[in-house]
Amino acid sequence: MIRPVRESRGFLEVEKSKFYSYLIPWPHFYSRLEELKRLHRHGSHFVTGYRYFENGVLREGGSNDREPAGTGKRPILQLLESRGIFEVGVVVVRYFGGVLLGRGGLARAYREATLRGIERGEFTRYYFPVVEEVEIFFQFIPQFEEKLAKIPPESLLQLEREYTIFGIRYRLQGEKRVLIETLQQIPPNWRVGKEE
């Protein structure tokens, strides 16, 4: 399983139709889609596909954006699945060239445009995220948050921060290895219920 590190792009021209593909890390997908609609305001279609995990459940979807069913979103998702790519959104902008490509031709074009974006992409291994809670005494919050700030948000994400009688309870999500290493670095006397 892999995920994109940063956005990558591809281009394909078929029978005068131009296909611009954008492979986008999932957290930036919707904002980038809006930017692309402004950038390509004369584009005929904005076909999308995405795959990401939400609370441990794989979410897949997208839009054919008025292209015939099965010709845009499906080939994009099939390609992402075959390559084991997650936490990603794909946008393929089509400028219609005046020649009808037929259902098969459209499906091949959307797949090939996406493939070109993938080939130019940079990926890292994707680990299924786990969630852990830790409660820190008030007096150790600054030191704990300093530790958290040093970890890249793509490796460890703070989901919730809840005040309690003794301190703050943090709900953290990340790669299991990173989460375990982070929690092991916290002195026991910082943690509510863990002091020795």
Phi then psi dihedrals of residue 61, to 5 deg? 180, -165
C-alpha span between 55 and 188 (Å, rounded): 29
Q: How much is the CA Rg of the chain, to the nearest whole Å?
A: 22
Contact of 90 with 75, CB cutoff 8 Å:
no
Please give the helix or strand (H or E) that residue 41 lies within, else none. none
pLDDT of residue 194: 59
pLDDT of residue 36: 98
Contact of 180 with 186, CB cutoff 8 Å:
no
C-alpha span between 178 and 132 (Å, rounded): 11
In this prediction the pTM is 0.71
Q: Mean pLDDT, 10 residues at a time, over the chain (196 residues)?
A: 94 97 95 97 97 86 96 97 96 95 96 98 85 94 92 81 95 85 90 69
3-class secondary structure, 180? helix
